[in-house]
Amino acid sequence: MTAAGFLDIATPGLMTSVQDLGRFGAQALGMPVAGATDPIALRLVNLVVGNPENTAALEIGYLGPGFTVAADNVRVAFGGAAKLMLQPADGSDARALKPWRSVVLKRGDRLTIGAIEDASVAYLAVQGGFALPPFMGSYSTYMRSGLGGFEGRALKAGDRLPLALGAAPEGEERELADSIDYGSGPIRVVLGPQEDRFTAKGIETFLSAAYTVTKEADRMGLRLDGETVEHTRGADIASEGLVTGSIQIPGNGKPIILMADRQTTGGYTKIATVISADLPRVGRMKPGDALTFQAISVAEAEAIRRAQEQGIRRLIEGIRTALPDVWLDHNALYTVNLISGAVDAPSGHWR
């Protein structure tokens, strides 16, 4: 695909990569699904900017990038909570932009995205997406193997990210009307498939103890710290298939929640699997976050997921035309004489 313009990356952020909803159908070949760790945010921010839900966007980890527009113009939207500062190319005052609202950036404009305030990830969607080749049916980046996305890696300073559109289509700006409800309380799981490899005490510990996300947390998985979970006869099993949300308990007894870039097979016992409705909430967690687990049935998990999708559809239906941005250009204000005269109140004479 030929680039119609570029985003010139000045600062890459801590971990910024191209992701869509994932690479499905290739796990038998050892290829992980990858994709967004918060698929709800990816879907919604794409729709705000006018894209199909599965369009590849930038997944931003912890600290956002800064880039300059090298195209006639481009429409973008940021899905998350962070300080967004736009420095216009015309030299007018820098101004803050709103998240979950589309905006057209012009050639030479620079956007800087600050630290993610409420989660480990956020997303920047670009109308039309990026002019990148798909790999095995997806644009997601699997960084451990250097495949997909932009050169198979996270962005770095000096990159030129190619745009599919060189100019934004005419149209009104849009915004998300309501906030996303990711839920609260314990992370819900379905026990198994190796539930029998844990003692009754071990399962009780897993479901009652409080755990903390450690610094060993990335797109592959979250290592947790807390009470150890007791096995019946060791942690090792013959390698078998894994799914996103599998919770392995290795020999040290500390849970590991497997995430988007997880391996496709593994040889540690798995005590439970995070239900699909709670995976976006887990995907947003950062080191230091606390969590507990609650066991539910498969039927309950399916009902929760259906209810969650109904809530997402309501958010989608509520996407609305955005009110115009209003801001003061102080440079213009200070260089224009806004007073042409004054009245001497006692005399009534103009001077």
Cβ neighbours, 10 Å, residue 313: 10
Quick check: helix, strand or coil at residue 46?
Answer: helix
Q: What is the pLDDT of residues 190-243, one digit of tens each?
A: 999 999 999 999 999 999 999 999 999 999 999 999 999 999 999 999 999 999
Residues 89/51, Cβ–Cβ less than 8 Å: no
Q: What local confidence, expressed as pLDDT, does residue 348 receive?
A: 54
Tokens at 187, concatenated = 């992370």
With a cut of 50, say whether residue 247 has pLDDT above it: yes
Distances (CA, A) of 37 to 100, 220, 240, 266: 18, 10, 23, 20
Tokens 């390698």 found at: 239
Beta-ladder partners of 268? 236
With a cut of 60, say whether residue 335 has pLDDT above it: no
Q: What is the pLDDT of residues 103-152, one digit of tens each?
A: 999 999 999 999 999 999 999 999 999 999 999 999 999 999 999 999 99
H-type alpha helices, 182-264 = 200-208
Q: What are phi and psi of 211, to 5 degrees?
A: -115, 160
- For residue 46, count CB atoms less than 10 angstroms from its CB and return exposed for 0-12, middle for 13-18, buried for 19 or more: buried
The rounded radius of gyration (Å) of the Cα atoms in the chain is 24
- Cα–Cα distance measured from residue 111 to residue 126, given in angstroms and rounded to the nearest whole number: 13
With a cut of 50, say whether residue 328 has pLDDT above it: no
Q: Is 304 left (phi over 0), alpha (psi -120 to 50) or beta?
A: alpha
- Cα–Cα distance measured from residue 290 to residue 276, given in angstroms and rounded to the nearest whole number: 19
3-state helix, strand, coil in the chain (%, to 5): 15, 35, 50
- Cα–Cα distance measured from residue 216 to residue 188, given in angstroms and rounded to the nearest whole number: 22
Q: What is the pLDDT of residues 11-39, one digit of tens each?
A: 999 999 999 999 999 999 999 999 999 99
pLDDT band for position 326 (cuts 50, 70, 90): low
Sketch out the chain's domains with CATH numbers: 5-175 (no CATH), 187-310 (2.40.100.10)
- Of 284, 249, 246, 250, residue with least CA distance to 265: 246
Predicted structure pTM score: 0.91
